[in-house]
């Protein structure tokens, strides 16, 4: 039933929402007591002195405080949720690529002081909650924004990445958190979600101009999102929110004239139009927008320069500027007629005033698109208004150990305007706020702060009025320095230096591109005494424009310094590998010798006792005396003894070398063999050997090997022979059984009971057979020590190194002989018929079977007459 009922409901919803939208679109006309959601779109264009054009998009949506739930019609829901959830009072997020050129693009206007941002991402937010809750809210906010804007803002979550400025950051309050990511790359991925917050997206209105390739080809672009939530008047009402989205792009128009590159033409400013710089035109406004305007701003310097030019050319300069047809003046030409011209209210600070042309997009449509163009007729050169001091920051020193950060402030020599205002020139002071965050791995020594004014060192207390420092904590928080400088007005240059040590990071704290170096985020230098504001004279329509009211606001002049790159010591990341290799080698050597010592202890002690009995001298003197005797002999009769000793040594040496070489060859052969093995087989062999060893260790007192072995074999044979009673035994003592199996496979001897073994056993044998084909090869390590002990004892207590080995090898051979007699191969070997061994092996004939084989059986195996007779004879003689 519910399913059936839903479609009509949906339909109703859709219809009402449609209606609502329509209603809202024209809703601004309705005066309903309560303010409506509003959206404004504006674009400001401004020619820059260095042949570039500044375009500044300004979109503003506002949601009034409402009590009717969380329904918004224009305002982006994501933002309002964000504000409600994280109790954000004010927030600003900016994505920037490129550097704002303070020198040529100006540093005093409200556009640079509020829209020039450091490269990468900058985020600050003021929260409306008690102190202890802020950090957790900040962390959640970063994650939300990170998801919203497809950027790694979530890296600001870590407490090492953000700071809490106390008072030097403009919207100063204790509830502020500030963080930057200087290395964040900005791309269309970030712009698209930003555009989605606009009601018309980039489908209609001014935002249609936002052509991605031309924006990202620009010299600077900064996409900013600023929101303020206004206090709600009464309880239960959601706060009103003003969302301000700006995009500041500096573009270079590629005019045809520049390409001609005539010497005279070079001095012309390039002419441009909206279509030439964006490749698009505006076809009407966004229908949801209250107003949709385009402004052209000629700044103070340019206007002054134009006036100057007019004075040269004509007499009635003043008139022309303000006159209505200024847009077709002799200096430049506009392609569209401005709807209104505003002239800035001349302020105290400067005599010149800027001129603003207003174009209303409303009047244009798809058939008659709006395309503003500016064509210069004469070459003009002007300068933008600068901040009182130009700040730059750089690193000093070299090497991986320490360095210094220097912030240098240079007067821009535009002081007459600013300083003239102050009557008392001598005593006037220029206040400069500096806010600097340094990551913890740059360990700043705040005591080393030095101040130079006009190239003279000054006492810190003379210049710095107020300082707040929160030193960095390793891996916890960055260092923050906030300063208020009081500089004399006549200052021409000032510098601050502060030294730092470069810290060491833990290996997992290095980023993947560690060798690039680490960033120190921009310092913020602001001038609280100076306010960037432009007040335009005109009618009330100006008040409706959010952009112009923004200009009216008195914001303090701010500038960001460069991001610095500090090369830190980076470890060689192949180092761990080397260290592992070296430690393994050392361990192998150490444990090798240790194990050796442990194994030989009993014998050593015995020998030691005997030595003691024989002679009571210590070891070292003995060694020394022997050595000295040797040397003495050589020294006294160098001509006679040296060759003798040499030859003696040589024979011994040669023997040793041969032995070592032989061992090496064998080891190499074995390694190659192992390399050829399948993995499983390889594993098995190791296990085998281990088992073999453990078995050997478990019976240390075995003296006469042959006999004992045979006993074992017999027992084993019994065990295998009568299968049925031994089942229980196998289960109860599996380990024991396995040991036996191991041993058996090791020895490869099948004297009697082989035939009765199960198929599994045979398979195993085959597998292991490839590994240890000959018992002679497999056994020596085990047999050697067994046999050497008796030989050593019999021959001498002291034997030189090759001796026991030789004995061992001979003994091993003998042993092999003994054992070989018990196997088919050995048997055949003794008859000189080794070549038939393979035939027997193929037929899985072992000694037990061989005994029962008749002449016919042998014939069936394909053994010729002679050998057959020999075998039968031998078997008979064995009985």
Partner 1 sequence: MAETREKSHKPKPRVRPIVRLGIFLVSHSFLVSVVCCTSGVLALFLLPVLAKNTYISENALMPGSASPMLSNQHVLDGNRLVKDLTNSNLKSSETGIESHKIIAQYMLDLGAEVSFHKFHPQMNQFHPLHFFSSPDSGKIQENYSCSSYGINTVGVIRAPRGDGKEAIVLVTPYNALKSGFGEALSLGIAYSVFSLLTQVTWLAKDIIWLVADSQFGEYAAVSAWLREYQTPKFSSLSTLNSEMCPDINNLFEIKVHSVAGSKFSNSFRRAGTMAAALVLKVRDQGEQFEDTISIYAEASNGQMPNLDLINVVNYLAVHRQGLRVNVEKLRSLLNSSWLKSLGEIFESLAKVAKTLNPKCKFGIPATEYVEGTATLASSLYYQALGVPTGPHGAFRDYQVDAITLEISPKFSLDKVWRNDILLRGGRLIEGVIRSVNNLLEKFHQSFFLYLLTSPSKFVSVGVYMIAFALLIAPLPMVAASLYVDANSSSNFLKGDSSTPSAVTDAAEHGITIRSWKWLNSAKLVFIVHLWGAIVSLLPYFICQIPDCSPTTSFVIWVLLSILSLLILNSVLASPLACVKASQEKEWALVKSVTISSVFIGLGLMSVINFATAEIGALVMVPMCLLAQPLKLDVRAGTLRSCCRIICNLVLGHIAFPPAAFFLLKGMLDGFGSANVGDFWMWVESLWAWNSATYLFIGMVQLPCWVLCVSILFHSC
Binding positions for partner 1, 648-677, rule CB under 8 A: 649
Residue 378 binds to partner 1 (criterion: CB under 8 A): no
> Helix/strand/coil (H, E, C) string of 460-499?
HHHHEEEEEEECCECCCECEEEEEEEEEECCCCEEEEEEE
Please report how close the Cβ of residue 601 comes to partner 1 at its closest, in angstroms. 12
User: Taking contact as CB under 8 A, which single stretch among the options 172-180, 229-237, 314-322, 453-461 is the one that binds partner 1?
Assistant: 453-461
Subset of residues 619 to 648 that bind partner 1, contact rule: CB under 8 A: 619, 622-623, 626-628, 630-632, 634-636
The stretch among 145-153, 490-498, 666-674, 868-876 that binds partner 1 (CB under 8 A) is: 490-498
593 binds partner 1 (CB under 8 A): yes
Q: How far apart are CA 295 and CA 562, in angstroms?
A: 30
Distances (CA, A) of 46 to 5, 245, 390, 763: 58, 19, 22, 89
CB-hemisphere CA count at 13 Å for 291? 18
Pick the binder of partner 1 from 567, 682, 755, 867 (CB under 8 A).
567
Among 39, 40, 44, 49, binds partner 1 (CB under 8 A): 49
Asked if 681 interacts with partner 1 (CB under 8 A), we say: no
> Rule CB under 8 A: is residue 35 a binding residue for partner 1?
no
Q: Does 52 bind partner 1 (CB under 8 A)?
A: yes
Alpha-carbon distance 467 to 269, whole Å?
A: 46
CB of 600 to partner 1, least distance (A): 9
Choose the binding region for partner 1 from 313-321, 434-442, 564-572, 733-741 (rule: CB under 8 A). Answer: 564-572
Long-range contacts of 828-834 (CB under 8 A, 24+ apart): 828/871, 830/874, 831/867, 831/870, 831/871, 831/874, 833/867, 833/870, 833/871
Contacts of 155 (CB under 8 A, 6+ apart): 142, 161, 181
Using rule CB under 8 A, residue 399 touches partner 1: yes
Complex with partner 1: residue 267 or 599, whichever CB lies closer:
267
456 binds partner 1 (CB under 8 A): yes
Q: Does 519 bind partner 1 (CB under 8 A)?
A: yes
Does residue 366 belong to the site contacting partner 1 (CB under 8 A)? Answer: no
Query: What are the b/e assignments for 600-638, b being 16+ CB within 10 Å?
Result: eeeeeeeeeeeeeeeeeeeeeeeeeeeeeeeeeeeeeee
State how far the Cα of 329 lies from the Cα of 691, in Å rounded to an integer: 103
Rounded CA Rg of the chain:
47
In the complex, the smallest distance separating the C-beta of residue 399 from partner 1, rounded to whole angstroms, is: 5
**Pairing status of strand 429-438 against strand 524-532:** antiparallel
SS3 call for 304? helix
The 3-state DSSP class for residue 251 equals: strand
CB of 512 to partner 1, least distance (A): 10
Q: Residue 29 gets which letter from DSSP? A: G
Q: Does 157 bind partner 1 (CB under 8 A)?
A: no
Please tell me the distance from the alpha carbon of residue 63 to that of residue 65, in angstroms, as a whole number.
7
Contact between 85 and 56 (Cβ < 8 Å): no
Instruction: Give the H or E element holding residue 736.
Output: helix 734-747
Looking at the DSSP bridge assignments, the partners of residue 389 are: 411
- By CB under 8 A, residue 398 contacts partner 1: yes
E-assigned strand segments in 552-687 = 555-560, 564-566
State in angstroms the smallest separation of the CB of 807 from partner 1: 10
Does 269 help bind partner 1 (rule: CB under 8 A)? yes
Question: Within positions 114 to 143, which residues make up the interface with partner 1, using CB under 8 A?
Answer: 119-120
Choices 91-99, 125-133, 233-241, 282-290; region in contact with partner 1 by CB under 8 A = 91-99
507 part of the interface to partner 1, by CB under 8 A: no
Which residue from 447, 615, 701, 835 is in contact with partner 1, where contact means CB under 8 A?
A: 615
Between 45 and 566, whose beta carbon lies closer to partner 1?
566
Least distance in angstroms from the C-beta of 217 to partner 1 = 7
In the complex, least distance from residue 634 CB atom to partner 1, rounded to whole angstroms: 8
Choice between 313 and 625, CB closer to partner 1: 625
Is there binding between residue 565 and partner 1 (CB under 8 A)? yes
Q: Which of 21, 25, 36, 51 contacts partner 1 by CB under 8 A?
A: 51
- Span 170-189, contacts to partner 1 by CB under 8 A: 182
Task: Confirm or reject binding of residue 392 to partner 1 (CB under 8 A).
Answer: yes
Region binding partner 1 by CB under 8 A among candidate stretches 272-280, 293-301, 615-623, 717-725: 615-623
Least distance (Å) between residue 57 CB and partner 1: 19
Bridge partners of 90, per DSSP, are 126, 228
How many residues are listed for the chain in this entry? Answer: 879
- Within a 13 Å sphere around the CA of 858, how many CA atoms are in the beta-carbon half? 20
Q: Which is nearer to partner 1, 543 or 593 (CB)?
A: 593
Site for partner 1 in 766-805 (CB under 8 A): 795-800, 803
25 binds partner 1 (CB under 8 A): no
- Block residue for tokens 């003009």: 380
Nearer to partner 1, 34 or 652 (CB): 652
Bridge partners of 453, per DSSP, are 456, 494
**3-class DSSP state of 197:** coil
- Copy the structure tokens of residue 760: 């599994």
Nearest one of 706, 658, 739, 743 to 818, comparing CA atoms: 706
Count of residues in contact with partner 1, rule CB under 8 A? 83
Please say which residue, 2 or 620, places its beta carbon nearer to partner 1: 620
Binding status of residue 419 toward partner 1 by CB under 8 A:
no
Residue window 211-250: x/- pattern of binding to partner 1, with contact defined by CB under 8 A: ------xxxx------------------------------
Structural tokens at position 842: 């193929």
């Amino acid at each position: 039933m519910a399913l059936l009922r839903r479609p009509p409901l949906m339909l109703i919803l859709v219809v009402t929402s449609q209606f609502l939208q329509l209603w809202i679109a024209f809703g601004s006309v309705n005066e309903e007591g309560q303010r409506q959601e509003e959206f404004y779109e504006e674009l400001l264009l401004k020619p820059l002195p260095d042949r570039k054009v500044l375009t500044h998009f300004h979109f503003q949506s506002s949601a009034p405080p409402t009590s009717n739930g969380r329904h918004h019609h224009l305002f982006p829901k994501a933002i309002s949720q964000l504000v409600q959830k994280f109790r954000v009072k004010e927030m600003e997020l900016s994505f920037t690529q490129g550097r704002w050129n303070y020198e040529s693009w100006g540093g005093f206007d409200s556009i640079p002081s509020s829209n020039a941002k450091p490269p990468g991402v900058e985020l600050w937010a003021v929260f409306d909650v008690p102190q202890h809750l802020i950090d957790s809210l900040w962390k959640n906010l970063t994650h939300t924004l990170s998801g919203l804007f497809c950027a790694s803002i979530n890296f600001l979550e870590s407490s090492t990445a953000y700071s809490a400025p106390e008072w030097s950051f403009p919207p100063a309050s204790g509830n502020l958190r500030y963080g930057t990511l200087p290395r964040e790359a900005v791309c269309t991925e970030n712009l698209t979600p930003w555009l989605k917050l606009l009601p018309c997206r980039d489908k209609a209105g001014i935002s249609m101009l936002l052509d991605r390739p031309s924006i990202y080809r620009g010299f600077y672009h900064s996409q900013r999102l600023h929101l303020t939530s206004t206090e709600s008047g009464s309880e239960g009402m959601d706060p009103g929110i003003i969302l301000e989205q700006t995009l500041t792009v500096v573009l270079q128009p590629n005019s045809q004239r520049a390409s001609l590159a005539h010497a005279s033409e070079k001095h012309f400013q390039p002419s441009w139009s909206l279509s030439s710089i964006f490749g698009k035109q505006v076809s009407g406004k966004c229908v949801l927008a209250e107003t949709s305007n385009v402004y052209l701003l000629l700044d103070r310097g340019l206007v002054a320069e134009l006036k100057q030019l007019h004075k040269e050319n004509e007499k009635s300069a003043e008139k022309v500027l303000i006159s209505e047809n200024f847009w077709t003046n002799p200096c430049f030409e506009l392609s569209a007629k401005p709807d209104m011209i505003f002239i800035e209210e001349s302020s105290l600070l400067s005599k010149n005033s800027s001129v603003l042309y207003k174009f209303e997009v409303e009047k244009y449509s798809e058939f008659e698109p709006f395309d503003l163009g500016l064509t210069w007729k004469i070459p003009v050169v002007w300068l933008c208004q600068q901040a009182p001091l130009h700040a730059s920051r750089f690193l000093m020193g070299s090497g991986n150990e320490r360095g210094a950060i220097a912030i240098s402030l240079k007067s821009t020599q535009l002081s007459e305007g600013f300083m003239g205002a102050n009557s008392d020139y001598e005593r006037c002071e220029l206040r400069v706020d500096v806010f600097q965050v340094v990551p913890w791995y740059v360990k700043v020594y705040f005591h080393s702060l030095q101040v130079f004014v006009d190239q003279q060192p000054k006492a810190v207390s003379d210049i710095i009025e107020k300082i707040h420092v929160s030193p960095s904590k390793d891996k916890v928080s960055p260092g923050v320095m906030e300063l208020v400088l009081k500089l004399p007005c006549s200052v021409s240059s000032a510098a601050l230096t502060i030294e730092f040590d470069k810290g060491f990071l833990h290996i997992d704290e290095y980023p993947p591109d560690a060798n690039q170096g680490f960033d120190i985020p921009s310092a913020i230098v602001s001038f609280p005494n100076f306010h960037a504001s432009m007040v335009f004279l005109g009618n009330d329509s100006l008040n409706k424009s959010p952009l112009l009211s923004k200009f009216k606001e008195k914001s303090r002049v701010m500038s960001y310094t460069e991001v610095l790159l500090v090369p830190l010591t980076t470890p060689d990341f192949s180092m761990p590998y080397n260290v592992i290799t070296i430690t393994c080698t050392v361990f192998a050597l150490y444990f090798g010798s240790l194990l050796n010592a442990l194994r030989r202890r009993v014998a050593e002690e015995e020998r030691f006792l005997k030595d003691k009995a024989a002679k009571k001298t210590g070891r070292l003197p003995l060694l020394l005396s022997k050595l000295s005797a040797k040397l003495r002999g050589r020294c006294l009769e160098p001509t006679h003894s040296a060759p003798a000793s040499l030859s003696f040594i040589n024979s011994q040496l040669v023997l040793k070398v041969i032995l070592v070489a032989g061992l090496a060859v064998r080891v190499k052969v074995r390694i190659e063999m192992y390399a050829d093995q399948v993995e499983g087989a390889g594993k098995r062999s190791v296990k085998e050997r281990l088992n073999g060893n453990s078995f050997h260790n478990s019976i240390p007192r075995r003296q006469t090997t042959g006999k004992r072995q045979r006993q074992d074999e017999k027992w084993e044979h019994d065990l295998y022979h009568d299968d049925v009673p031994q089942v229980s035994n196998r289960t109860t003592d599996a380990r024991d059984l396995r040991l036996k199996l191991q041993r058996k496979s090791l020895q490869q001897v099948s004297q009697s009971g082989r035939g009765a073994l199960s198929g599994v056993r045979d398979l195993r044998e085959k597998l292991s057979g490839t590994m240890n084909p000959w018992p002679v090869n497999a056994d020596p390590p085990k047999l050697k020590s067994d046999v050497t002990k008796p030989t050593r004892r019999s021959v001498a207590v002291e034997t030189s190194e090759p001796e026991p080995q030789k004995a061992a090898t001979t003994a091993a051979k003998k042993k092999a002989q003994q054992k070989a007699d018990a196997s088919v191969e050995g048997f055949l070997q003794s008859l000189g018929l080794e070549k038939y061994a393979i035939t027997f092996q193929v037929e899985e004939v072992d000694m037990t079977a061989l005994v029962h084989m008749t002449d016919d059986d042998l014939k069936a195996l394909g053994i010729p007459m002679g050998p057959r007779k020999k075998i039968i004879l031998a078997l008979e003689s064995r009985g």
